[in-house]
């Protein structure tokens, strides 16, 4: 659900480190990543009894083709195949295929000229538990600006929508779209090169929109006011265990990420990141800490 944001951080750092801001790159590039991480609140739970944590493994392979229009404009078409597996809660294991088109341009070929991009992404996710199967779409705009030869600022806006398979609840004879979500993200980040190999980075993201949380059924029975205030659509969901449910609600999320990227070779890098997320949905709130360690390779 929110794991894609984590992966994008490592790829952004990797490409900033290897490609800097130049538009001059090979026509076709092949990139792979392997990530090991931990999510301290996988269920986005509010009460301690609803919070589950787990380790995860993520692998991705990307093919990108660059079409240079002129020295300051290019198009990039890419395809990414990825798989994500969890240690204890394998019901949310999933495979994804994404296709992305980007238009990247600069106003001049000066080293410090800002670089802009507009992009559109579409894809599908195949989960072990079928009710999470989906098609998804994302579009957005980014800007990066090099302050000096060591410091790069970047920012952007994106909208992500997920269209999941409809879920029929035989208990109520209703059809729910609990896993259909839509959210906007605005972010600002900084990359600081400490040396030819080491880069430090940090980012602040403001996210607003739909989130899906998972609860023990006993939570709703014991806290009806809370359930009434936050519940948009709630359906039975045995992904984590029996007698659990999933609920869609609207929240404002603040995410802070701090990490580093170390190039082992010109085409290889190690990336480590820590994320802190705080969400506010009125009387309901939650916090998450995530960490991950990634190995990235450009073929």
Length, in residues, of the chain: 299
Residue 261 domain-assigned (yes or no): no
For residue 273, what pLDDT band results from cuts at 50, 70 and 90?
very high
* CATH code, domain with 198: 2.40.160.40
| Domain range enclosing 114 | 3-252+270-298
Distance (Å, whole) CA 272 – CA 259:
5
- Helix, coil or strand: residue 15: helix
**Average pLDDT of the chain?**
84
So what's the pLDDT on residue 76? 96
Tens-digit pLDDT profile for residues 64-123 = 999 999 989 999 999 999 999 999 999 999 999 999 999 999 988 887 889 999 999 999
- Please indicate, yes or no, whether the overall pTM of this predicted structure exceeds 0.75: yes
Q: What's the whole-number mean pLDDT along residues 223-229?
A: 50
Residue 257 domain-assigned (yes or no): no
225-233 long-range contacts (CB < 8 A, ≥24 apart) are: 225/283, 226/46, 226/283, 226/284, 229/282, 229/283, 229/284, 230/281, 230/282, 230/283, 230/284, 232/178, 233/176, 233/177, 233/178
The total of structural domains in the chain comes to: 1
Residue 133 domain-assigned (yes or no): yes
């Amino acid at each position: 659900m929110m794991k894609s944001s984590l992966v994008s951080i490592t790829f952004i750092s990797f490409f900033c480190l290897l490609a800097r801001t130049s538009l001059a790159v090979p026509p076709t590039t092949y990139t792979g990543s392997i990530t090991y991480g931990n999510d301290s609140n996988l269920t986005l739970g509010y009460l301690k009894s609803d919070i589950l944590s787990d380790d995860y493994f993520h692998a991705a392979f990307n093919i990108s083709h660059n079409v240079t229009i002129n020295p300051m404009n290019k198009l990039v078409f890419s395809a990414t195949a990825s798989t994500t597996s969890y240690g204890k809660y394998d019901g949310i294991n999933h495979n994804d295929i994404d296709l992305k088109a980007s238009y990247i341009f600069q106003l001049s070929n000066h080293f410090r000229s800002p670089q802009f991009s507009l992009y559109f992404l579409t894809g599908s996710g195949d989960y072990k538990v079928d009710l999470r199967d989906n098609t998804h779409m994302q579009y957005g705009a980014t800007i990066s600006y090099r302050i000096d030869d060591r410091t790069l600022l970047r920012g952007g806006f994106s909208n992500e929508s997920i269209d999941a398979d409809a879920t029929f609840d035989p208990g109520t004879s209703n059809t729910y779209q609990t896993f259909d979500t839509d959210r906007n993200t605005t972010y600002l980040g900084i990359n600081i090169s400490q040396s030819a190999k080491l880069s430090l980075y940090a980012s602040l993201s403001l996210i607003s929109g739909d989130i899906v949380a998972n609860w023990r059924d006993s939570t709703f029975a014991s806290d009806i006011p809370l359930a009434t205030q936050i519940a948009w659509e709630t359906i039975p969901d045995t992904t984590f265990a029996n007698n659990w449910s999933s609920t869609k609600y609207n929240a404002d999320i603040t995410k802070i990420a701090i990490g580093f990227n170390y190039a082992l070779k010109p085409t290889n890098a190690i990336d480590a990141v820590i994320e802190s997320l705080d969400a506010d949905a009125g009387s309901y709130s939650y916090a998450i800490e995530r960490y991950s360690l990634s190995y990235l390779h450009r073929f």
